Amino acid sequence: MLRKLLLPENKEKLRTLLLYHLVPGKVMAADLTSGNVKTTNAEKAKIAVSRGKIEIEGNKVFSLDVVSKNGILHTIGTVWIADSYEGFAGLDKKILEPAVVLGTATQQLQS
């Protein structure tokens, strides 16, 4: 799937996918509550907070509050795809480690 997304004709699909993994603003783990959040591409993502554990769209968040120059990172172990995305249905959602996908995708979007 990653190779297919990195093709020039799929640049907009890749952009859409990456924006689904971002929320606007500075959101620390302590600020999270169960419910829906709006991603930067206007999709909703479900967050569950219980007993100090956080899940987003059913995926465990295993690294919290990693501060970077342009935001706060919370790491999940999969790339998730909104059910509403055309052309993504049936694709394996666990394509690569998210950091690898994000780094590769960022380079592709900048070119």
Any residues with CB less than 8 A from the CB of 32 and at least 6 apart, and which?
Answer: 47, 49, 54
Query: With pLDDT > 90 as the criterion, what percentage of the chain qualifies?
Result: 8
For residue 26, name the pLDDT band (cuts at 50, 70, 90): confident
Looking only at the bridges linking them, the beta strands covering 59-68 and 35-38 are unpaired
Determine the angle formed by the axes of helices 98-110 and 11-19, rounding to 10 degrees.
130
Q: Which residue has the tokens 């996908």?
A: 101
Domain positions in the chain are: 2-99
2-99 has which CATH code?
Answer: 2.30.180.10
Q: Could you give the CA distance from residue 51 to residue 18 in angstroms, rounded to a whole number?
A: 29
What digits encode the pLDDT tens for the residues 72-89? 888 887 777 766 666 665
Beta-bridge partners for 49: 54
Q: Cα-flanking dihedrals φ and ψ of residue 57, to 5°?
A: 50, 40
Report the predicted TM-score, pTM, of the whole model to 2 decimal places.
Answer: 0.67
Residue 79's Cβ-count burial label (10 Å; 0-12, 13-18, 19+) is: buried
What digits encode the pLDDT tens for the residues 94-110? 444 444 344 434 444 44
Q: What is the DSSP letter of 106?
A: H
Mean pLDDT of the chain: 75
What digits encode the pLDDT tens for the residues 46-57? 999 998 899 988
